[in-house]
Structure 1
Amino acid sequence: MSLSLQIIETIEQLKEMAKLEEEIWKTAPVPLHQTLTAAKNGGIVIGAYMDGKLVGFVYSFPGFRNGEVYLCSHMMGIDASFRDRGIGCRLKRKQAEEARRRGYRVIRWTYDPLQSRNGYLNLAKLGAVGVEYVENCYGEMNDALNGQLPSDRFIVEWRLDERPTGERSLAKADLLKARSLTVLEAGQRADGLLQPVPRDIDETAAPLLLAAVPLDFPQLKERDFALALEWRLATRALFQRLLVEGWIAAGAWRCLEEGVLYYIWKRRSERWQQKGEEE
């Protein structure tokens, strides 16, 4: 089976995208008049086609903030049966390529920091950084992804002219040495579920900080909603504090043996280059 990426701009293509969006999120899709207007006025909509069938898309439109025009990447969706094949990463890289061609230098978007799959893609593979945290960003969202949790979101920035895209992370040995700098751990309960365990450490001279979130948060939420809410509130309090104090979420490390994703926090003023990590 062959995958092709195509710019979406016709009404027929956008109708197909709306149908896929509805299947993924189980809610009404973005209105056609909105997606069509965005596509015709500086937006970038890209579809992933497998043997002619639409299996994924990314939808974005122009944004403006503090005197800077950027591309606001509003939504990316992949058909459930085609996930874990790298399609999302290919869509984002195609989006960056097209954004550069059209003169954009920054792409911004939101994602739920408790969704480790998105965190790993955004921060480790693409090289975006988490620069803001918005509490209950979209209000109550009763779709398949959000359930009844507050819709907290990271805002990430992908500066296309700062570094080449591609996977980046600290070497695993360096991360293991940095375990003493973990400010949020995932402790295992008797039932096997992970619970947030904040740690007080001296952050003044720390070169980086680590904060854990469960790798499979959707399953945890399904089994124990109260515990899922505990994770939401614990990460909210920590991430908001770190951002106010001048840290940014600058990378991510998947620790499969522990069942967690570690967010790697660096001071905003620092620039760093990571070594490749095996996916």
Structure 2
Amino acid sequence: MNGAQEAAATAAAERAALRAGVTVRELHELDEMHEACRVLDRIWRPDPGKPLITPELLRVFAHSGSYVVGIDQGGRMAGFCLGFLASAGLHSHIAGVDGSVRGRNAGFAVKQHQRAWALERSITTITWTFDPLISRNAYFNLAKLGAEPSEYLADFYGAMRDEVNAGTETDRLLVRWELTGEPAVASAAGRPRAVTVDGTGTRTVVALDAGPDGRPVVGRQDGDTVLVRIPAEAEELRRTDPSLAREWRYALREVLGGLMAEGHTVTGFTRDGWYVIDRRQESQP
């Protein structure tokens, strides 16, 4: 691995943590694992007696060389991230911060730390999944970090019983983050991947949009560039209108999932809520 790349990634991670006002550190001791599990419980609020993960398993992950970190703010652990070695490199399984640091770019600081950690170990690819119906996560992952979608996974985890995921099918978008690629390097320097679309062009079509009543409307897919809309506040929609939220879930699965299954490439996500698909390219494995 290029020593200059590692040094630049470490410096970027330190800058991101400083700007967010957090400290990202590896965890090793059993009492740290217990605290990490309490953080996860605060964020996801699982059923009592059914934790997302146990302290003992976290200890094993850490001892065997996986990525197990806490995010500290003001002397307390306010977030956690777990990644483990996988065929692609590192798979980032779970990450979250509680309300005390949300909205302060702590998630960006964690990802920059994770990138530097991986490059130090000659790992050049990180994968993870996220709910493709959540607009802020799509923008963070595809635009701010420059990760690239590789697979649409329908109801990947099955039914989950925590308060965040309860009552919804767990569709996920699997993304790959090529750590030495230009989008990741630009992300580390604070330059998100911008994607702009001329919606009036004859070769740009809208495959999924919101109708006047807020319901999903399936359109055309025969352009060179295909746009797929998602609602701005899907999490709020789950609480206020679960039936409509399910309509959006199935429509997105049909349209975005269908386009990706055909091998078409998602080239980005716009700040105003559109996935951009290029039908002239095929997705890379």
TM-score bin (small chain): 0.7 to 0.9
Q: Which amino acid aligns with 1:111?
A: F
Aligned mates of 2:195, 2:98 — CA distance in 1: 31
How far off its partner does 1:140 sit? 0.4
Is the CA contact (8 Å cut-off) linking 1:183 and 1:198 kept in structure 2?
Answer: yes
Match of 1:219 in 2: 236
**Correspondence 1:170 to 2:195:** yes
TM-score, length-scaled by structure 1: 0.84
Is the CA contact (8 Å cut-off) linking 1:128 and 1:250 kept in structure 2?
Answer: no
Match of 1:125 in 2: 144
Q: Which runs of 5+ in 1 are unaligned?
A: 256-260, 272-279
For 1:227-242, what aligned pairs fall within 5 Å after superposition? 227-242=244-259
How far off its partner does 1:201 sit? 4.2
Aligned mates of 2:69, 2:201 — CA distance in 1: 39
**Correspondence 1:16 to 2:35:** yes
The partner residue of 1:47 within 61, 65, 70 is 70
Aligned mates of 1:117, 1:10 — CA distance in 2: 33
- Structure 2 CA distance for partners of 1:47 and 1:175, relative to 1, 3 Å: farther
The partner residue of 1:199 within 219, 228, 248 is 219
Q: Indicate the larger mover: 232-241 or 37-46.
A: 37-46
**Correspondence 1:37 to 2:71:** no
Q: Which runs of 5+ in 2 are unaligned?
A: 1-19
How far off its partner does 1:36 sit? 1.3
**Correspondence 1:61 to 2:73:** no
How far off its partner does 1:178 sit? 5.7
Aligned mates of 1:38, 1:96 — CA distance in 2: 18
Match of 2:25 in 1: 6
Match of 2:5 in 1: none
How far off its partner does 1:187 sit? 2.0
Aligned mates of 1:270, 1:133 — CA distance in 2: 12
TM-score, length-scaled by structure 2: 0.83
Match of 2:179 in 1: 160
Partner SS state of residue 248, structure 2 = helix
Q: Indicate the larger mover: 125-134 or 142-151.
A: 142-151
Q: Indicate the larger mover: 3-12 or 117-126.
A: 3-12
The partner residue of 2:210 within 154, 161, 186 is 186
How far off its partner does 1:242 sit? 0.8
Match of 1:274 in 2: none
* Structure number with higher strand proportion: 1
Is the CA contact (8 Å cut-off) linking 2:208 and 2:228 kept in structure 1?
Answer: yes
- Structure 2 CA distance for partners of 1:4 and 1:244, relative to 1, 3 Å: same
For 1:233-252, what aligned pairs fall within 5 Å after superposition? 233-252=250-269
Match of 2:124 in 1: 105
Aligned mates of 2:283, 2:249 — CA distance in 1: 28
Is the CA contact (8 Å cut-off) linking 1:58 and 1:92 kept in structure 2?
Answer: no
**Correspondence 1:263 to 2:275:** yes
Q: Which amino acid aligns with 2:64?
A: N
Q: Which amino acid aligns with 1:35?
A: L
- Structure 2 CA distance for partners of 1:4 and 1:175, relative to 1, 3 Å: farther
Q: CA RMSD in A?
A: 2.0
Aligned mates of 1:42, 1:248 — CA distance in 2: 33
For 1:129-148, what aligned pairs fall within 5 Å after superposition? 129-148=148-167
Is the CA contact (8 Å cut-off) linking 1:110 and 1:154 kept in structure 2?
Answer: yes
Q: Which amino acid aligns with 2:263?
A: G
